[in-house]
Structure 1
Amino acid sequence: METFRFDQSYGRILGVAYTSVYRQLAKYLKEKELCITPDQFRVLTHLWQNDGCSQQDLALSSNRDRANITRIIDILEREGIVERKDHETDRRIFRIFLTTKGKMLEKEAAKCGQMAINDALKGISKTDIDICMNVLKKTIENLS
């Protein structure tokens, strides 16, 4: 029986790859002097596509727990990037809206995200990227 090698395992490689892309994105956001972190970027990407969604929707779409989303939204609100508004019919729910500042971040932040991904995929064939994407989608499906 083969011994488990954590340093060569799927989970370890996946985690290191994620961390590497995360750090590269952080580097580009900092270089562009954008006042957001990769975690905030992750939440903002959903708002840029669906402004005014609830905190619960943001938690689900970004695969984060509600406490984490609340903390991120608190920071984004303090920075003037988003604002909370009461839901029209349900007082227990807040909807999250981008401010003008939040909307203006999209173009430059998206460039940073694309540059980080381009760096990560440099020298990798489209066929290999497609295979990787299929494996990752299947991993998500298996664990959902």
Structure 2
Amino acid sequence: MTQEQFSKYSFLLDRTARKVKQYAQQKFNLGEFDITVDQWLVLKNLAENELLSQTELAQLVFKDHPTLTRIIDILSKKGYVERIPHPQDRRSFQLHLTTEGVEKVESLKPQVASIREKAWENLDSKDFEEFKRILNTIYNNLG
């Protein structure tokens, strides 16, 4: 592959990722979800994992610590997330969803699924499998 081809494909990947996030955020705003896409990713990952340290969560959602701290602060103020002192490390916390946070995740799951389905609308299962294979290859190449 030439450098020019590589640049075009990289541009397409970046453009598509930005468009997906913009579309999702627009739908979040129109649906009055009361959270952002980034906040949703935090809530979803906490719902899927019982207790996480901030470092573990940062790795799962691909956010740096200052950004994740701001997101957690907002979600804590909204009553969706709690910080619990870490049993082995007094300097850190474990994060978990409150009852309200669990309810928020459950109420938004169908709507978020609908938003995701829009991106896959004209793709068949073969397209999806090939796309998944390619994305996993790119991810593994970097890891």
| TM surpasses 0.5 | yes
Q: How do residues 128-139 of structure 1 correspond to structure 2 at under 5 angstroms?
A: 128-139=127-138
Alignment partner of 2:4: what SS?
coil
Please report how far the alpha carbon of residue 3 of structure 1 lies from its aligned counterpart in structure 2 after TM superposition: 7.0
1:105-144 to structure 2, matched below 5 A, reads: 105-144=104-143
Number of residue pairs matched? 143
Following superposition, the deviation at residue 5 of structure 1 comes to: 6.3
Aligned pairs for 1:71-110 within 5 A: 71-110=70-109
Paired letter, 1:127: K
Which has the bigger relative contact order, CA under 8 A and spacing at least 6?
1
Q: Which runs of 4+ in 1 moved over 3 A?
A: none
| CA–CA distance in structure 1, aligned partners of residues 71 and 35 of structure 2 | 10
The alpha carbon displacement at 1:83 in A equals 1.2
Aligned 8 A contact 1:28 1:112 in 2 = no
The CA deviation string for residues 3-33 of structure 1, in whole angstroms up to 9 with x for no partner, is 7268x72221111211222122223322332
Which blocks of at least 5 consecutive residues in structure 2 are unaligned? Answer: none
Measure the CA separation in 2 of the matches of 1:42 and 1:83: 16
Post-superposition offset of 1:86: 0.4
Cα 1:18–1:3, aligned 2, differ >3 Å: closer, same or farther?
closer
Q: For residue 93 of structure 2, what is the amino acid of its counterpart?
A: F
Identity of aligned residues (%): 30
Name the CA shift for 1:32/1:107 in 2 (closer, same or farther; >3 Å): farther
Q: Name the structure 2 match of 1:4.
A: 4
Please give the TM-score of this superposition, normalised by the length of structure 1: 0.89
Structure 1 residue runs without a partner (length 5+): none
Deviation at 1:90? 1.0
Distance 1:11 1:108 in 2: 35
> SS at the partner of 1:90?
coil
State the Cα RMSD in Å: 2.0
Mapping of residues 11-50 of structure 1, within 5 Å: 11-50=10-49
2-structure distance, mates of 1:137, 1:126: 16
SS of residue paired to 2:90: coil
- What SS does structure 1 have at the residue aligned with 2:74? helix
- Give the alignment's TM-score, normalised by structure 2: 0.89
